[in-house]
Amino acid sequence: MADVRYDPLGFQVRFTVTGDDVPTILELAPLLAARGRRRGVEISRFVASLGSGAGVPRTWTEARPLLRPVLRGGTPGSSLSRPVLPFLSEFVVIDGPDTMTYVGPEQPAMWGVKVNDVFAAARANLSGATLQGAATEPVVVRFVDDGDAYWTSHLLLEHWLGRLALQVGGTPVAFAPERGTLLVTADGSDHLRGLFAQAEEIYAKTSRPISPMAYASDADGLPVPYAAPPGHPLHHSVERAERVLAVEEYARQAARLAEADRPASETVAELLLIGSDEQGWRTRAIWERDEPALLPEADELQIGEEILPWAELAARLKPVAGMQPARWAAASWPPAGPRRA
C-alpha cells in the first residue's frame, strides 16, 4: 500500500492499494462500536481484510453493483465528484465489506462508460426505501445508518425526500449533520427550530461531519437549502447554519493547503463567524494587507482595522483555479483592478 495517511478530522485511514490510482478509505469510527474482547476480534478481521487485494474492480460489470453515491464536503485527493449543494459535492465510492474506495476521475473511461453513467448507477443502487404508515401530527424521523444503508445519500434521489410527507406530517425538511444520521421533520412544525440546534451539535462533535444546514426539495424533487428569508422566524437559524458550514469547510481546506507545497509567503486567510441570534450572523475573512493571501468568500473582509463588505472588493479579486471551496488571490492592498460603480 502507498500514501498511507491518518486523517484526524475524518477519523479515517487513507491509502492506495497497489495497482489502484484512487484512494481507499477506512472508516475507524465503526470499530469503536465493539466492546471488550469483541473489539479485538473485529479489529483483527478488519486488518486481515486489507490483504485480500480488494480494490477498484477492473470491469464495469463488476463495479456497477458496488457503486454508491456519497454526500461530502472537501475530500483530500483527486476523486470523481460534482457539486450538488453549497460546500457539498456528490462523490462515488466502491462499497466493500470493510473499506470504501473513492472512484477516480479516470475510472469511467477505464470501465468504458460515461461519467454520468457512473453517477446514475451509484444512485440506482440505493434502496430508495420509504416509511410505512402516516403521522397524525408533525414528528421527527431519525434515520441511523448501520454502515450499509447510506441514508444521507438518499437526499440525492429525486423526489425521495418529498415522499416522506405522510410519515413526518407535512412538507419534509431534512438535516444530514454526519454520515450516519439523517433527521427529517415537517416544515412549519415546532420541532424544526430545535433540530437546527441539534444538527449543529451533532455536526460539531462528530468525526464524520456533513452539514448543519437544513434541506428541502425543489419543484424537480432535487435537494436545495431550506429557505428562510428576512422576516421568517427561522431566518437567523438558517443564516447561522449556512455560515457555520462555510467556516468549517474553509478550515478543513486550510488544513489541507498547509500540507501542500505552496509558497511560504502566501497566507491562507482565516474565516470567522461573527454575530448573534438577535442581530444575525455573517462571515468575516481576515487579511493582513501587506501579505499575499488566498481569501475565502465571506460577507465581509477585515484588512487591518478596516472592515469592508465583500461586494466592494469581489470585482478586484482573482479566483484561484481548481479550488473547492473557492478562494481568491489577493497580492497587496489595495488590490489592483477597477472599482465597482
12 and 26 Cβ atoms separated by less than 8 Å:
yes
Whether 78 shows a pLDDT value over 80: the answer reads: no
Q: Which cell numbers hold the place of 42?
A: 473485529
CB 42 within 8 A of CB 31: yes
Q: HSE (CB half, 13 Å, CA atoms) of 14?
A: 17
Residue 213 region by backbone torsions, left for phi larger than 0, else alpha for psi between -120 and 50, else beta = beta
* pLDDT for residue 46: 67
How far CA 102 is from CA of 20, 155, 188, 192, in Å, comes to 11, 19, 38, 34
Q: What is the mean pLDDT of residues 77-99?
A: 88
Residue ranges in 105-223 assigned as alpha helix (H): 107-111, 115-124, 165-168, 191-205
Q: How confident is the model at residue 100 (pLDDT cuts 50, 70, 90)?
A: confident
**Which pLDDT value is given to residue 127?**
81
Q: What is the pLDDT of residue 83?
A: 93
**Rg (Cα) of the chain, in Å, rounded?**
22
Residue 341: the pLDDT is 42
Summarised one tens digit per residue, pLDDT across range 202-236 is 999 988 899 999 999 999 999 999 999 999 999 99
pLDDT at site 310: 93
pLDDT in tens, 113-137: 999 999 999 999 998 877 788 888 9
Q: What is the pLDDT of residue 263?
A: 62
Burial class (CB in 10 A: 0-12, 13-18, 19+), 264: exposed
Q: How much is the pLDDT for 335?
A: 56
Contacts of 188 (CB under 8 A, 6+ apart): 138, 170, 171
Would you state the pLDDT for residue 26?
A: 74
When the pLDDT of each residue in the chain is averaged and rounded to a whole number, the result is: 86
* Residue 340 pLDDT grade (very low, low, confident, very high; cuts 50, 70, 90): very low
Q: Is pLDDT above 70 for 45?
A: no
pLDDT of 254 > 70? The answer is yes
Condensed to tens digits (0 to 9), the pLDDT of residues 294-334 reads 999 999 999 888 899 999 888 888 899 888 899 998 876 65
Residue 265 has pLDDT above 70, yes or no: no
Q: Is residue 283 over pLDDT 70? A: yes
Model confidence at 55, in pLDDT bands (50, 70, 90)? low
Q: Are 92 and 122 in contact (CB under 8 A)?
A: yes
> Which residues have C-beta within 8 Å of that of residue 237, sequence separation ≥ 6?
193, 196, 228
Distance CA 186, CA 197 (A): 16
Judged against a pLDDT cut of 80, whether residue 166 lies above it is answered with yes
Task: Name the pLDDT band for 339 (thresholds 50, 70, 90).
Answer: very low
